Structure 1
Amino acid sequence: MAKLQWGMIGGGEGSQIGPAHRLGAGLDGAFDFAAGALDHRPDVGRDYGQRLGLASDRAYGDWREMLEGEQVREDRIDLVTVATPNATHYEITKAFLEAGFNVLCEKPMTMTVEEGEDIVRTSERTGAICAVNYGYSGYSLVRHMKAMIARGDLGKIRLVKAEFAHGHHADAEDADNPRVRWRYDPAQAGVSAQFADCGIHALHMASFVTGQEVHRLSADTVSCIASRVLEDDAMVNFRMEDGAVGRLWTSSVAIGRQHGLTLQVFGETGGLRWSQEHPNQLYYMPLNGRLQTIERGEANLSPEADRTTRVTIGHAEGMPLAFANIYSDLAEAIRARKENHAMDPAADHYPRAQDGLRSMAAVFAVAESGSKDGTWVDARPPMYR
């Protein structure tokens, strides 16, 4: 089977996210890294692309040059990943969708709700796939959580508790560090800092595993470091469309917390708990039963979990492998469209543009509620109300 052609915009030398995408895209042998515009400095981007193995005519200087070059090729890329600064996501994603390219966009997909709705409509109109990299949803046991909830192991879901709290921005002396400062600058980050950066991962996970969307929310936001305009801590209460109650805490000043993404789901007949820092274990407590530890890679898990595990039980799987599961889903989806057949249901879990839109609507809802002392607000995008 011929490999699919993959390209990347952004993620250049020294970037945090670029290597994880390149590892994830290449892990299963479904994609060839064929094209890239990897740096905002054209010569630097071309040089780095060629050092990574790109042909000289496909190591582009910028995304516009890449779009123009790939459109006219018979072997044009099947998927492009957009891993540029946040404010550029909308323009680049829309341009490639309009040209019929499938896109995987880093989060946040857009900077406004209106842009998000436009991306959803553009994807629907062109028929091109638009996925958003909520990569933590690729973990095997997160997929198993979703499968357990869907088959009714927990009964009706009552409560979801999500966290994404770390302490890496807790030092007030870092206020002028450019790698930190931009995150709290409205001109560069938009209306939200910590919730838009980390909180939406936790919120997406809550919706992903339960199959319920957030309907409304109330937020308490604060800048614990007074010089920051945007929040570095937020507590969000939310209600989901099928009745589940949600609690979410996100922080960048929680000294002692490293990554801090955890998810707990409680239903009428059981509860589940998972942490990204210990991704090989999922804890399950049936009502009136005993606490069970479900190990990634053990026998008799769900098809969704089996499909997304690669190494034997007891060995750690990390973030690049979770990313690889998103890419594996997308390869399945792209091949299904090319060959006109249904995709494997166990693979049909990649985050869509609709998820990116709902996240952006939640960001603005949190900002609005936080500015109004926690007033409950509608968290849905206008097109879904």
Structure 2
Amino acid sequence: MRKLQWGMIGGGEGSQIGPAHRLGAGLDGLFEFTAGALDHRPEEGIGYGRSLGLGDRAYGSWQDMLAGEKAQDNPIDLVTVATPNSTHFEITKAFLEGGFHVLCEKPMTMTVEEGEEIVKIARTTGKICAVNYGYSGYSLVRHMKAMIARGDLGKIRLVNAEFAHGHHADAADAENPRVRWRYDPAQAGVSAQFADCGIHALHMASFVTGQDVTKLSADTVSCIDVRVLEDDAMVNFRMDGGAVGRLWTSSIAIGRQHGLGIQVFGEKGGLRWSQEHPNQLYYMPLGERLQIIERGEANLSPEADRTSRVTIGHAEGMPLAFANIYADLAEAIRARKENRSIDPAADLYPRAEDGLRSMAAVFAVAQSGKEDGLWCDARPPMFR
């Protein structure tokens, strides 16, 4: 079976996210890295791309890459956009309209209006537009989703999600350029910590429950006074299936490292999972003893089995979770090429619609935080 061809924009030398994408895309042998515009500096981008084996398909800009790939007899099947946030909309729009499937890093856009436009373009062109909420690729997160969908917990009552770390807690580091931009509205938009980390936790809540957020109330604060945007937020939300939600996100929680976790409580039981300990899912059926579900054990769901690669007891980390998103996309692209239905266990990659809902939530949190926790509609206008 011929590998699908994959390209990347951004993620150049020294990038934090670039290696994770290259590992994830190449892990299962489904994609071949064949094209890239890896740096906003043309010469550096071309040089680094060639060092990775891209040859004359190492481009100096995304515009050159778009034109070059459209002219190829065998162009890329998928492009990943891993550039600064403010460029996501322009690049994603151009490649969708150019006839390419796209995986965009989050946030998909900087405004709700841009998000709605991307959703419409993806629907009109028929091209896949996925958003990299990569933590939804973990095997036991998918098993959690499957357990909830088949009714193991009964009706879902409460979701508690967190994404809290302490890596921006030092006030003396507030003027560090690598930190400062995150809290600058001119560069980050209307939200800092919630837009950076909180939306991962919110997407996780929707992903595992199958419910979308309809309204929310937020308490946002800048614990370090010189920051304009929030470094801590507590968000209460309601979901369209009746679940109540609580979400805490922070960058000043000293002692917390990564801090992404989720708990779901239903009529018949509860589930708990943490990204720092991804091999265990804790399940408490009503009136019974606590059970620990191990990644890789027998008799899990097809969704979990499909996304587990190494034997039980060995850790699988973030690049493998990313690889599961890429495996989903490879199956979706091949299904379209072969005019067949996608494997249901693979039909789990986050869509443009998810990116749009996240951006609507970001603006709702910002509005609510300014208005002392006013309950705000968290839905984008096109979904109301």
TM-score, normalised by the number of residues in structure 2: 1.00
Give the AA of the match of 1:349: L
- Equivalent position of 2:273 in the other structure: 274
- Equivalent position of 2:4 in the other structure: 4
1:211-290 to structure 2, matched below 5 A, reads: 211-290=210-289
Give the AA of the match of 1:52: L
Equivalent-residue separation in structure 1 for 2:54 and 2:192 (angstroms): 35
Give the AA of the match of 1:290: R
1:176 is displaced (CA, Å) by 1.2
1:40-55 to structure 2, matched below 5 A, reads: 40-55=40-55
1:298 is displaced (CA, Å) by 0.1
Equivalent-residue separation in structure 1 for 2:47 and 2:71 (angstroms): 23
Equivalent-residue separation in structure 2 for 1:110 and 1:277 (angstroms): 28
Which stretches in structure 1 are left out of the alignment for 5+ residues? none
1:76-155 to structure 2, matched below 5 A, reads: 76-155=75-154
1:194-209 to structure 2, matched below 5 A, reads: 194-209=193-208
- Equivalent position of 2:59 in the other structure: 60
- CA displacement, residues 250-299 of structure 1 (integer Å, 9 cap, x when unaligned): 00000000000000000000000000000000000000000000000000
Give the AA of the match of 1:212: Q
1:317 is displaced (CA, Å) by 0.2
Equivalent-residue separation in structure 1 for 2:19 and 2:241 (angstroms): 39
Give the AA of the match of 2:150: R
- Equivalent position of 1:318 in the other structure: 317
- Equivalent position of 2:21 in the other structure: 21
Equivalent-residue separation in structure 2 for 1:242 and 1:316 (angstroms): 34
- CA displacement, residues 154-183 of structure 1 (integer Å, 9 cap, x when unaligned): 000000000000000000111111110000
- Equivalent position of 1:192 in the other structure: 191
Equivalent-residue separation in structure 2 for 1:306 and 1:74 (angstroms): 37
- CA displacement, residues 224-257 of structure 1 (integer Å, 9 cap, x when unaligned): 0000000000000000001100000000000000
Equivalent-residue separation in structure 2 for 1:326 and 1:318 (angstroms): 13
1:318 is displaced (CA, Å) by 0.1
Matched residue SS, 1:312: coil
Match status 1:38 vs 2:41:
no
- CA displacement, residues 86-145 of structure 1 (integer Å, 9 cap, x when unaligned): 000000000000011000000000000000000000000001100000000000000000
Give the AA of the match of 2:12: G
Equivalent-residue separation in structure 2 for 1:114 and 1:261 (angstroms): 28
Equivalent-residue separation in structure 2 for 1:156 and 1:103 (angstroms): 35
- Equivalent position of 1:344 in the other structure: 343
- Equivalent position of 2:173 in the other structure: 174
- CA displacement, residues 194-240 of structure 1 (integer Å, 9 cap, x when unaligned): 00000000000000000000000000000000000000000000000
Give the AA of the match of 2:320: L
- Equivalent position of 2:372 in the other structure: 373
Matched residue SS, 2:300: coil
Equivalent-residue separation in structure 2 for 1:34 and 1:26 (angstroms): 11
Equivalent-residue separation in structure 2 for 1:319 and 1:148 (angstroms): 22
Equivalent-residue separation in structure 1 for 2:105 and 2:182 (angstroms): 16
Give the AA of the match of 1:363: V
Equivalent-residue separation in structure 1 for 2:138 and 2:99 (angstroms): 29
- CA displacement, residues 304-340 of structure 1 (integer Å, 9 cap, x when unaligned): 0000000000000000000000000000000000110
Equivalent-residue separation in structure 2 for 1:138 and 1:261 (angstroms): 14
Matched residue SS, 1:234: strand
Matched residue SS, 1:143: helix
Matched residue SS, 2:265: strand
1:379 is displaced (CA, Å) by 0.2
Give the AA of the match of 2:237: F
Equivalent-residue separation in structure 1 for 2:41 and 2:71 (angstroms): 24
- Equivalent position of 2:294 in the other structure: 295
1:11 is displaced (CA, Å) by 0.2
1:352 is displaced (CA, Å) by 0.1
| C-alpha RMSD of the superposition | 0.3
Equivalent-residue separation in structure 2 for 1:300 and 1:179 (angstroms): 45
Matched residue SS, 2:228: coil
Give the AA of the match of 2:33: F
1:72 is displaced (CA, Å) by 1.1
Equivalent-residue separation in structure 2 for 1:151 and 1:288 (angstroms): 19
